[in-house]
Every structure is written in C-alpha cells, then in structure tokens.
Structure 1
C-alpha cells in the first residue's frame, strides 16, 4: 500500500484516509551518553551483543512485529559501522518493513537528531520514537488506539509514554535496571502525566509538589514504582517543538519536563502502562546484565535465543535454561551450569566451569577456568586457570594463564591480560588511553577528534596494539599484557550501582540497616506533606497482576542462584548474601525469600532421578541436609513458616504434583528437623477453617499429624504444670 501525499496526509480529517498513512518509527541509533565507555569508543552501542545478538536487532524485530511499516534509523556515533551492518543485514529487504538511514556527523543530542529529521520532512503522521537499545514484546495496538482517540478530542495531546511497574530498591533508590528511582504524578481519570522526576527528593519520606499542580488537578496519584520504557508514541508536532525550542536536548530532562511546566502552549503528555508484556532499555551495565537474564529466562519471548530472528545463529534450548549453538567442542569434565548460553564454534577445556554466563562465538576457553555471571563476546581466548566473575569481555580479548577478572571488570576490544595478573574490581581496560577530560553525559558516546578513532575498528586495532605494546610497562597488566587501565574519575565512586556485578556485601548490610532504621522512623513519624507513593493504592486488579509478575521474576532469580550454588558447591553464607541482594533489588520480604528458597529446594529434589515415593523422600531429605541453613535463615517468624507451608500446598497442586501423596510426610520431616515449628502448623490449620472445602484437601490429609501436635502440646503443658 503506497503512502499518500505528504500534504494530504497532514490536512485530511477523514479516518479512512488517515488509516492509510503507514505507521512510522524513528529509531535513535545513538544513546548520546558515555555510560558504555570505553567499549563505545570503538563500536556503537546498538551493535554491542546482547545474548550474542546486536542490540538493534531486538528493537527492529519488535517494531516489525508491532506493525510498524517504515523505520528511519538516525545514525551518528560510528555511523559508518551502523550503516555497513544494516546494509549487509536482511533488514533492508523485508517485504513489510522499510528501513532508511539518516546520517549525521555533528548532532550531540536527541534534540539535534529530531530537529534534523524534521528538516528532512519524512514523518507524515503519528510515529513511534525509540532508541536502538530497547527490548520489548508488547503490542502497540491499544496504546496507539488510546493515543489516536485522545488526538481526536484534543490536538494538544502530543505524546503517549509507555511505562511499566518496577519496584525500586528502597534504600539506594535504584531500579533493578540500575536507573534512578523515578517519581511520577498522574491524573488517574485521564492518564495524563503531570510530573516527572528521575531524582526526586524523598528525604524524610516526603514529596514536594507545586501548589498549582494540586489546585488545577483535583485527582492525582503519586508513583515511585514505575519504570520508563522509553517507548513513545508521538504526534508530528513533537518534531516541530524541538525545532522551535533549541534548549530541548534530552528527551526527558528537557522536552518532557519542559512541556509539563509550560502553561502557555498547553501541550499534554499521557502514559500507557503495560502489565504482562516486557519492555526495557539497556541504559547501563547493570541493565545490560538484567535484560540479558530476562532474555535467557524467556520473559522477552519470542525474542529469545532459540527463536530465529535476524542476526542470531541457530541455537538449542536444553534443560534448566541452557542454550547451545552448533559445532561446540566441550570436554566431558567441563561443567555448564543453568541459564547459560554457549555460542557457535566455541571450545571449552577440561574441568572448566561456566555458570550463569553468555559465551559468544568461536571462543577458546582452556582448562580449569572458572566463569560465573559473565559476558564473553566473540573470538575471546581464555587460557588455563583463569577466573572471571561478573565481568564483560569484548571481542578478541586474550587472558593469559592464571589471569583473574574481579567483579565489575570491563575488558574492551583486543586487550590482553598478563599471566597471573588480577584485574581489580570495577576496572575498565582498553587499548585506548583514557581521555584527559571526561565528557559529560550530554555529549556523544564516541571519541572526539583528539582521540582520532577511525570507524574501521579492525584495522585501527593493529596499529593501536603495536603502539601500546612498545610503550606498555610490564607492571601495567602483567607479563604479556596489552592495554591501559582507566582510572576511576571524580563522581564515579559508586560504580557498583551500575555494574554487572551484584551489589557488594558491605552495601547490602548498609542497605538492610538503613531499611530497618527507616521502618522504625515511619512507625513514629506521621508528618508527610503528601502520602508517600507506597501508601497510595492503584487499581487492585492491575496491582495484583504486577505483583504476580514481579514475584515470578524474583522466584526465578532465586532458583537460578540456588542452582548455581548446587553446581558449584557454594557456601551457604554466600548463597544467603546473594539472595539478600535479590531481596533488596525486588523489595521483597523475608517470607517471599523463604517461599522462593523452599520452592527451589523441593524442585531440585524432584529433578534428581528417583524411582519411587521413598526415593523421592530421600532426595528431599538429602537436599535439605545440605541447604537447610539457607532456608531457616529466613524463617524468623510465624508468617515466614506459614508461607513455606502454603508454597508447598501450591506446588503439590500445580508444579510438583508428585509430592501430593507425600505432603504430610514432608511436613513431619520439616517438624523433626526444626525447620517449621509446631505453632506454624497449628496456625495454618486454624486459618484453613474458614476456607472453601476445595482448599482443605491438604489440611484433611495432615489431620492426624495436626492432632498429634495438639496432643503433644497439651502433654507438654501438663508436664509444665
């Protein structure tokens, strides 16, 4: 279907005529920040691999599936690399999607990009605005319909932002994606956005809003549990607004906040919240890690490793979330853990362990290597005895025997780490020297003219590597090491917040302590300017859906942590530490942790081969004997213990029906082992008295056990008397 003439499309009011305008999208292939340095000094962010697939492929695949017919890709940072990649890909030959590139060499912000696109006069109607580091599987149908309906009634409704619930960490005010806690004020009757702040002042549990906002809007809901998906449906006026206001550079800090405080023009922004769908942007290294895990855990389906879409090789899903490509050479003594991806042509040596990691294509991994929670890109050589934990290793890197990459390390393209050299935590290593002056996040995410990086990275690497090797001291990266260790710059003392590494132990203890102190303060301090967002109630059905999805995420993460601990024989204290980190990230209670750990233990016992009910019971007893401490560390009160019983009921009904006949036997075992106390069983039985008959099956099954507990309790009381 051909596009109508530009002028006709803009002035027509006929719905049928408007419907024939193809749905367009602007994809920004530049983040205009420096968060992924030093990697993005040499390769644009949208071409960095996300679970072995360039990020931009996820965005394009979603746009095509969502019904977008025409995409304009704005290229600035390393534009030649982006254009060369797209021209060699299959995206330019799709029957239902037209892809065009717009190149610029002097745009330093999203505002500059949109002004240039406006000058090209290529957008003819409503369009989707998105960056090329976004992963989503949401449907656009409802959001588009809402946007169009609002436009019919009010021409000032120029933008609809997609948001999603995402509970922030209550102590460090950071989401699971590593982004700052977001504070929103929304009109619940219209979904109009009234206030947007990425770093709201929530000291002493208060929120400060302008009085006029409260006067003009009789109904306001306050939120700090929302995630900005950075997917926007815009009217053409958005482009002209950037042209009329050259102060608009950043999409959120300038444009959105500018419109919200502009009383003269009256333009309005609305939100569309998604619940069961997935949408997230890779904004920093922590979100890179989080989104990668979400892809492996299949929350992004159909954009998952074993489903073919442009830019990924054929790969097979195996048991416990392991993905393997073809032509892999793996020693029989090597251990590949759950939720791990192994790319095409990779070789893995004797007694090597790869856990919860992504390995790229044509990598060579030696013997006795330990890789955990890391991202190894293509053509990497890791020699014998190396250790990597929660690191990112770019293409062509070499790690000499015995080298160690501590958590949070970034090894950029083709660096070499010397024999037995230990790269300190959060270090960044590059063949390129660190810029003398640190750029601000408002500037481009590639080197300036002083660095003189060429777009053809492969050729420039040879020259850079030779120059580095001539001047490199042996002590910089050890014997045989090549590259520069970048120094931490002022203002970057909290690298751990945006790292692929888990939150450090000392930060976890600090966070838990602060959480307890804030809880005590809230009990005594009732003086708030406005009710805190967590005290306000949204639509109950929507909240329930979000809580269910959030709990599933948490439960899967705990299970993955437990399985890693089993495969690697990690000490119980370290497992508890990791689960505490997850607890903070998801803002969960001890009861949630207890239920998730119990589920992981029992599910693992079920997966161990067994031939009868007796052997299944022995499996359970064996697993509990090993990991009892992890579970009981969260069974600090009655509620937590009852949660475990309820979780077991749920499993017997749904995911682990094999345990249904053994329900009472397992309860009795947990009582004997002091895992669940007598009072918890009696309280559970008491709660079930008012339940429906269909919900009393397991109480009836445990009737004799409960009666025995009551009689034992009465005997104890008599003895005491």
Structure 2
C-alpha cells in the first residue's frame, strides 16, 4: 500500500508492477492563444494573479494535494519568468512534490509541446507511465487517486484505452456554460455503459434548432448513446504513454481537442479509445478568457474551491482574514471609517482606502492606494495601483502599476495592462484594452504564442513576431500614458462573450430567441442535444416507465436554487435570466411557468428571511420584489404571464406560505405600482375568480377595494378617450 496523503490514498497497485512508478503530471504553462492580450505580452498567463495568487499556484497546490509526486512544467512564452518564479518559490524545495521545468521557445501549440516532451523522453525517460495532463490555468479540488486507478484498470482490460477526460455538468442549461465561462457550447456523445467518448463537438451545434448532426454510421453502430449538451470540459486528462507517441506520429495534431481528440475518434485504423469521467461534488474549471477569469475568481471567493480559498495559506502568501458577508482583508489594510467595503470583496496587504469610497464584489491587490469617493464594483485591481479621488471603475481589470487620475471612469469590460496611466476625467470606453505597448498591425493566429520570450519586452517585442508598429500619442488623455487597442475586424460583436462585464440585455434576448426559434424540421441525421438516444423499442419502454408528472415540481426547485444562488453570490440579473430560460428549455416549460416559479422563489425567500410581524414580512417581500424587478419583469411581459404570477401567489397563500395571506392585496398593489402587473391582468384574474366557489374567492374579496378602484380608473380613462374622439370629430 502506498503512503496516505492529503488528497486521499495513493493509487494502490500491484507492488511488483507499480511499486516504483511515481504519480506524474505534465503541466502546460502556455495557453498557446492570444485571448489575454495585451496583458500576456508582458507577463505569462500562469503568473497572472487570481484572487491575488498566481494561477499556477492553484494548479500545483491541487496536484500536490491530490497525490501527484512529480510535475513537469512545460514553459514556452516568457519561459524565463516562469522558471525564475518557480525557482524562488516554495515549489523549488517542496517535500511532497518535485517540480521540474522543460523549456522550448519554438513550440507554437500544445501539440508541439507534447512532441518536444516525447523527444526529450526518448533521451531521459522522464515520463515513466500514465500521467495527468493539465494546463497551468486550472483550478480544481477533485481527488485523482481513484480516477488514475480507474484509468489503469481499464487499460489492463483494453490496451486501446489511452485517455480519460474529466467532464462536469454545467447546470442547468447549455447557455449557462457560455454565460459563466465564455466558452462555446460543448456537445458529447458517450456510450452509457462504458463511458467511452464517441463524439466531441464544439463548433457546429445548431443553436437555433436545438439539435446537432451525427454521422449515420455512429447511430447505426451503437445500440444507445448518451447525449450531453450541458457539459463542461475541464481539460484534465489521465493519459497513457501512447498519447505522447501519437503526437509524434501526427504533426497535424496541434490543439488537444479540435485535432487530437477528434482525430482519435475518427481513426478506425489504430482503434485507440478515449473515455470520460464525470465529476459531481468536486470543483474543476479552466481559465480560458476574461469571463472565465471573473467566474473562477467569484467561485474562489464563494469557497467552491475549498481548500484553495483566500483565507488558507496554500501559496506561501499570508492568508487573509475572512469577515462577514464574504469580505477578506489583510491585517494591515488601512480603511477610512467612511469607506464601505461590501460583500464578496478581497483586499490585499498594505492597501489604503480613502474617505467615502465604495468597493463591492471586487478583488484589490497589495500595495494599492485608493483615494476618496472612489467607486469600484465587480472589478479586479492588481498590485501597486493608484486610483485618485472620484474615479469610477465597474467590471474592469486593472494590472500592476496602473495609475488612474482624478475623476476618470472605466466603463464595463475595460482591461488596462501594466503601468498604463489614465488621464484626469478621461472615460475609457466599454470593452477597451489599453497597454503601454502599441497594438501590432498584424495579429498572429489564435494558435500561436502569447509572446516570444524577451529580456526587454518593450524593446524587443518584435523579435520573432515580424510585426510593424507606428508611433503615436497616448489614447488615454493629455496626461495619460498608453494606447487603446482596436478590436480586430469581425470580433467586435464577440467582445461581450469573453469580457468581465455582465452580458448585455440585448444579447441575453438574442440568445434566448435563438434557442426558441426551433423550426421543428425532422431530419434523421439530427438528434436533440440532451438525454439518451435509444432504439425504438427501448424508447417506448422508457416513455411508459416515465410518468413525467413531477416535471414542474423539479423545474420550480431548480429555479429556486438558481435564484438563491444569485442572491448569495451577487450574480447579475442578465446571467440569472439566462439560467432560468435555460431551465425552461431543458424542462420544456412556458414563459408563464418561469414567471410563476420566479415569483414563488422570491416570496419564499421573503418568508424564510427572519421577521417578527406581518409588517416586517411585507417589507421583506417588497424589498426583494423591488431589487429583483428586472428578473421578474423579463418573464411577465404578457397578460397571461402576469395572471400566472397572481395565481401562484394565491396558491402560496393557501398552501405553503399562509402568513402571506393577509398581505395579498398590499403586495398585489405594490406590484401594480412598480409596473410588474398591469391593470388588464388584474381585472381578468378578478373576472375569472368571480364565478368560483366561496372558498376560492378569499383573496379576491381581500382585493375588492383595489379592484373597484382599477375599474373606476379604467372607466374614467375610457370616458376621456371618448371625449377626445368627439372633440377631434
């Protein structure tokens, strides 16, 4: 038996066969993309701070915790910075984890990196057997021992089983994954018995039709398929040594998924197989763009990534103190008494916050100086940043050494790279990216390096990139310093997908509309993007055994869980709308069902919030309705949807929240006053209730005065219109 360790038992194997095989991992310290430019032109992505800790520390800490003994860190772009960091960190002398670096500045893809490692492997025999393959921007707390054991046992039975991919469900819908992580929707087809991966698709899903095309040969060869459209690829793979040799044999394998995985799946000659492993309770995510950077940061603050949270010392830094409402502060923070640091906020060492400033849902680094009357919301301020009086920063990323002069404004989605200066009163437009480095006139492809290594980035940036630059004045005001990069042609409409800014409401509406526009065309090569595809006989049997009576109950519980998470984590309304509409599509519900379930969730929260009287309960309810008016309002645009809300309110008062009963008329009136319920909906509900039994007219009678007032107001309005028509005549 192996030694016991934090992340669980070592993989237990035959002592003769596996006694000397160390648990190893390959960590790719280059993303081989340009999504974090211009920031990554000066610093490698894996060294960027994630809640004030370099990304790579999260990955290494998790690997050590999970029982990995040796990690090979592959360095390419900015390799000197990464090597220097590792040599001067605790990882250089860690007692439980050996960290070794492999350097190659010529590799321009993950495929090149693995080919280079294979070539080195032939000389040094570094990789001894199965290994974990991850990138240095991965945050996880999942155990690996059982997964590695599962992979090895499968390989003993089937020598063609060379890889196990970790996947995780992105609840509750396909669009939720996009809204949270900014990535493309993923479609998988898996053998339900063996969990073998049969189809992997990121690019060609027909969102408007809610379907995806599969090869007929696949449908004919498999008795049943498990179809996933709500999965997140965690980019955590358990690999056999054959994986490295396949990259060596196939030079067209560049991207790990688009080329390697899809190539293996269609290769009938070699017959290699890839399997999936779905995790449930554990956390795993990769930071692929600025939106996923924002999402994972929030998950860390909300402690979904425990034990890798701000108040745990896992990276050699001093842990922060956790206070109420998820506020983390270093012990030496200097905060004015009139300053307000709100919920879900992290403030690092030596930072000073001036009079009247307000910080909410943000991460502030070390050594920052924040002036008076500054507003910072949903933003990431890195180290040694100076923000002068009266500035406003919302949903932005501000890198080390930036200076934002008095009265300047950063609109949502702004990214300021290192040492940029924003001039007094200057407004940086939404989604702008600014840097002291001028934008290359020719962009390299998304498959190429973040940047070639250079001893002086500013002076030698062009080395290896063959880019032309032209001098010009600062774009950030007369007393500013830096240049605003132009959005590449064709990418302007995509900026919102990958930004730290909330998804715009018009884009929310577009996404929902696209998913609703199902043309219902039948095509034997197209299948729905969820559930299990079976033979006709199996489908009949399944349908007979599935009562389907509780669908609305499950739907309502999911909506309630989504709403409560939004309240607890401060999720923006736009994303909550996406999630609830995704649930609606998943459960095949109507918009009126969303309205009823959302209102139910709001009223249940009001009842569950501590109160000592009916007046306090009423205040709770009105406060919640007012705060989340946009959420409910999105689902009550039609009269039928508004009537559904009133009927749901009746049902609650009668069955689950009877103490709300005395407040029925008051709350109905409030919803009318703030334009959530229209006059026509209330009067139609009243007409329908008028013929009901006495027991069913309790709340109608309570609203009698209000209903009469609405009728009189309606009649007066009709009379006024008639008078105007007569005058016009």
User: Do these two structures clear the TM 0.5 threshold for a shared fold by scoring above it?
Assistant: yes
Aligned match of 1:556: 565
Q: Distance in 2 between matches of 1:176 and 1:528?
A: 33
Cα distance change on mapping 1:40 and 1:642 into 2, 3 Å: farther
Deviations 1:423-481 (A, max 9, x none): 11111101111112101111111147xxx6627x8x999xxxxxxxx97536x210211
Aligned match of 2:486: 487
Aligned match of 1:695: none
Aligned match of 1:686: none
Aligned match of 2:714: none
Q: Distance in 2 between matches of 1:648 and 1:162?
A: 45
Q: Distance in 1 between matches of 2:556 and 2:101?
A: 41
- C-alpha displacement of 1:615: 6.4
- C-alpha displacement of 1:208: 2.1
**SS where residue 487 of structure 2 aligns?**
coil
Normalised by the length of structure 2, the TM-score is 0.79
Cα distance change on mapping 1:23 and 1:529 into 2, 3 Å: same
Aligned match of 1:177: 181
Cα distance change on mapping 1:340 and 1:14 into 2, 3 Å: closer
Q: Distance in 2 between matches of 1:646 and 1:360?
A: 49
Aligned match of 2:691: none
Q: Distance in 1 between matches of 2:683 and 2:321?
A: 47
Aligned match of 2:537: none
Deviations 1:681-718 (A, max 9, x none): 9x9xxxxxxxxxxxxxxxxxxxx99784498899x9xx
- C-alpha displacement of 1:345: 1.4
- C-alpha displacement of 1:37: 0.5
Aligned match of 1:402: 407
Cα distance change on mapping 1:535 and 1:64 into 2, 3 Å: closer
Aligned match of 1:251: 256
Aligned match of 2:442: 437
Q: Distance in 1 between matches of 2:381 and 2:486?
A: 23
Of 552, 577, 581, which residue of structure 2 is paired with 1:580? 577
Asked if the contact 1:159–1:232 (Cα under 8 Å) also holds between the matched residues in 2, the reply is: yes
**SS where residue 63 of structure 2 aligns?**
helix
Asked if the contact 1:668–1:705 (Cα under 8 Å) also holds between the matched residues in 2, the reply is: no
Deviations 1:185-220 (A, max 9, x none): 111111111111111242644422223222332222
Of 175, 183, 190, which residue of structure 2 is paired with 1:186? 190
Aligned match of 1:623: 623
Deviations 1:631-677 (A, max 9, x none): 75246256666777899999x9xxxxxxx894655667546756898
Asked if the contact 1:163–1:272 (Cα under 8 Å) also holds between the matched residues in 2, the reply is: yes
Of 452, 456, 468, which residue of structure 2 is paired with 1:454? 456
Deviations 1:159-188 (A, max 9, x none): 000001115876799352111111111111
- C-alpha displacement of 1:70: 1.0
Tell me, yes or no, if structure 1 residue 156 matches structure 2 residue 152.
Answer: no
Q: Distance in 2 between matches of 1:333 and 1:90?
A: 39
Aligned match of 1:95: 95
Of 144, 148, 157, which residue of structure 2 is paired with 1:140? 144
Cα distance change on mapping 1:211 and 1:622 into 2, 3 Å: closer
Asked if the contact 1:208–1:529 (Cα under 8 Å) also holds between the matched residues in 2, the reply is: yes
Cα distance change on mapping 1:604 and 1:20 into 2, 3 Å: farther
Q: Distance in 2 between matches of 1:447 and 1:499?
A: 25
Q: Distance in 2 between matches of 1:453 and 1:549?
A: 53
The alignment of Structure 1 onto Structure 2 pairs a total of residues equal to 649
Aligned match of 2:525: 529
Aligned match of 1:128: 132
Q: Distance in 2 between matches of 1:487 and 1:239?
A: 39
Of 366, 375, 392, which residue of structure 2 is paired with 1:370? 375
Kindly report which structure 2 residues correspond to 1:56-455, keeping only aligned pairs within 5 A, or say none. Answer: 56-118=56-118, 119-120=120-121, 121-166=125-170, 174=178, 176-202=180-206, 204-447=209-452, 454=456
Asked if the contact 1:376–1:392 (Cα under 8 Å) also holds between the matched residues in 2, the reply is: yes
Kindly report which structure 2 residues correspond to 1:701-716, keeping only aligned pairs within 5 A, or say none. Answer: 708-709=698-699
- C-alpha displacement of 1:605: 8.9
Asked if the contact 1:176–1:585 (Cα under 8 Å) also holds between the matched residues in 2, the reply is: no
Kindly report which structure 2 residues correspond to 1:528-677, keeping only aligned pairs within 5 A, or say none. Answer: 529-534=525-530, 536=532, 552=561, 555-561=564-570, 579-580=576-577, 583=580, 612-613=612-613, 616-617=616-617, 619-620=619-620, 623=623, 626-627=626-627, 629-630=629-630, 633=633, 634=635, 636=641, 662=659, 664-665=661-662, 670=667
**SS where residue 130 of structure 1 aligns?**
strand
Cα distance change on mapping 1:349 and 1:65 into 2, 3 Å: same
- C-alpha displacement of 1:221: 2.1
Asked if the contact 2:563–2:601 (Cα under 8 Å) also holds between the matched residues in 1, the reply is: no
Asked if the contact 1:605–1:619 (Cα under 8 Å) also holds between the matched residues in 2, the reply is: no
Cα distance change on mapping 1:16 and 1:383 into 2, 3 Å: same
- C-alpha displacement of 1:351: 1.8
Judge which range, 170-179 or 75-84, deviates more: 170-179
- C-alpha displacement of 1:31: 0.6
Deviations 1:516-563 (A, max 9, x none): 4x15x34xx4555333123648999xx99999899746632344448x
Q: Distance in 2 between matches of 1:295 and 1:711?
A: 51
Deviations 1:338-383 (A, max 9, x none): 2111112111112212121111111111112111111110111111
Asked if the contact 1:379–1:396 (Cα under 8 Å) also holds between the matched residues in 2, the reply is: yes
Asked if the contact 1:184–1:222 (Cα under 8 Å) also holds between the matched residues in 2, the reply is: yes
Q: Distance in 1 between matches of 2:70 and 2:555?
A: 33
Asked if the contact 2:174–2:230 (Cα under 8 Å) also holds between the matched residues in 1, the reply is: no
Q: Distance in 2 between matches of 1:88 and 1:155?
A: 41
**SS where residue 162 of structure 1 aligns?**
strand
Deviations 1:385-427 (A, max 9, x none): 1111111100000011111111111100000011111111111
Q: Distance in 1 between matches of 2:58 and 2:109?
A: 23
Aligned match of 2:539: none
**SS where residue 180 of structure 2 aligns?**
coil
Deviations 1:295-342 (A, max 9, x none): 112111111112221144321222222222221112222222221111
Q: Distance in 1 between matches of 2:66 and 2:654?
A: 40
Asked if the contact 1:605–1:623 (Cα under 8 Å) also holds between the matched residues in 2, the reply is: no
Asked if the contact 2:211–2:529 (Cα under 8 Å) also holds between the matched residues in 1, the reply is: no
